[in-house]
C-alpha cells in the first residue's frame, strides 16, 4: 500500500513518523497536542484505514467494524488499548496505545532465539491475554509475532494487537469457515476448509512458541502450495534437538502443534499446563527479575 496523505493532526494528536504499513492501513506515531495533567504529552499509535479500499471489500469493512467493537470492550494488561476512534471522508482513525518496543518478531530476530525462561515469560503473558479473550468467547484468528507488541526493549510487557480477523467463536463450536489469518501461523483445519473453532489460536500459539525458542517458524517453503502441504501433513511436527528445553516446554509444544484439533490440547489444559500455570503466575517482582534477564541478554548480544 502507498503512503496515505493523512492530516497533520487527528483527534487531538499531531501525526509524525510512520510505524508500519498493511494492506488497508498505515500506522503512524502520534503525540498529544495538549499536555496531560502531569505536564507530559501522550504518545500513541494512529492506525489510518483507507475507507475506499476497505469498502471495496466487504470482508475488510466487516473486519474494521469487528476490530473496533472488540477493542472497545477489551481492558487487559496484555491487550493493546483502543483510546479513541474517528473518521472523515477518506480514512478511519484508530487511536491506540503506543508500544515503543516494536513487535515480538523483531525481538526474536534481534536475539536470533530466546532463552526458555524469557520465552516462558512472554508466553505466560500471551496466555493471560488469550484466557481473557476466551472469557468473551473471542478468537483472535491472526496470532503471530508481528501482531504481538512490546512496550519497550528493556522492560518489555507483551501486548496482543491487530484484532481485524477476530471472531466470536466457542471452543469446539465448528462455526468458522472463512479463510482468515497469516498462512505461516494458520492451523491445518483452516487450510482444509473444515469448520473450525477457537482452537485455531492454540495452534498459532504453538508456532509462536516454536519460533521464540528456535528462531524460526516450524514451516518454511518457497511456495504457498508447499507450505500448505507441510502444515496439513499427517506427520508430527519435528522439534529440533539443537536447543535444550525442559520437559514441560517440550510437552506443551507437542500439545499445541497437533494437527487434529480434536486431539490438540484444550484451552483449560493450556492455561493450567506447568509451563504456563496461570493460577500460579509469577508476581510483579518476579516479572521484574525476568525483565532484568532480558536486559542482560540484550546487552550481551549488542556487545558481541
Q: List the catalytic residues.
A: 142
Look up residue 122 and give its three cell numbers: 512472554
72 annotated ligand binder: no
Binding site for ATP: which residues? 47
Amino acid at each position: 500500500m502507498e503512503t496515505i496523505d493523512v492530516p497533520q493532526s487527528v483527534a487531538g494528536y499531531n501525526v509524525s513518523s510512520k510505524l508500519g504499513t498493511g494492506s488497508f492501513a498505515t500506522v503512524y506515531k502520534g503525540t498529544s497536542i495538549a499536555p496531560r495533567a502531569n505536564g507530559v504529552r501522550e504518545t500513541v499509535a494512529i492506525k489510518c484505514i483507507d475507507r475506499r479500499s476497505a469498502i471495496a471489500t466487504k470482508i475488510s469493512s466487516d473486519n474494521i467494524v469487528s476490530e473496533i467493537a472488540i477493542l472497545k470492550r477489551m481492558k487487559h494488561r496484555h491487550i493493546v488499548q483502543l483510546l479513541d476512534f474517528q473518521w472523515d471522508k477518506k480514512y478511519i482513525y484508530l487511536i491506540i496505545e503506543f508500544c515503543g518496543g516494536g513487535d515480538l518478531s523483531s525481538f526474536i530476530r534481534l536475539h536470533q532465539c530466546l532463552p526458555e525462561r524469557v520465552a516462558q515469560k512472554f508466553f505466560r503473558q500471551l496466555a493471560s491475554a488469550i484466557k481473557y479473550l476466551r472469557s468473551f468467547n473471542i478468537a483472535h484468528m491472526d496470532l503471530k509475532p508481528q501482531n504481538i507488541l512490546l512496550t519497550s526493549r528493556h522492560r518489555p510487557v507483551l501486548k496482543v494487537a491487530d484484532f481485524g480477523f477476530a471472531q466470536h467463536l466457542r471452543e469446539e463450536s465448528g462455526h468458522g469457515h472463512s479463510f482468515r489469518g497469516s498462512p505461516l501461523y494458520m492451523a491445518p483445519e483452516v487450510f482444509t476448509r473444515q469448520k473450525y473453532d477457537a482452537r485455531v489460536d492454540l495452534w498459532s500459539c504453538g508456532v509462536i512458541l516454536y519460533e521464540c525458542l528456535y528462531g524460526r517458524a516450524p514451516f518454511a517453503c518457497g511456495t504457498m502450495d508447499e507450505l500448505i502441504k507441510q502444515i496439513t501433513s499427517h506427520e508430527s511436527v519435528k522439534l529440533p534437538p539443537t536447543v535444550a528445553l525442559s520437559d514441560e516446554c517440550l510437552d506443551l509444544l507437542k500439545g499445541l502443534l497437533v494437527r487434529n484439533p480434536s486431539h490438540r490440547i484444550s484451552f483449560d489444559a493450556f492455561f493450567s499446563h506447568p509451563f504456563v500455570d496461570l493460577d500460579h503466575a509469577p508476581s510483579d517482582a518476579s516479572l521484574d527479575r525476568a525483565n532484568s534477564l532480558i536486559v542482560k541478554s540484550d546487552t550481551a548480544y549488542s556487545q558481541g
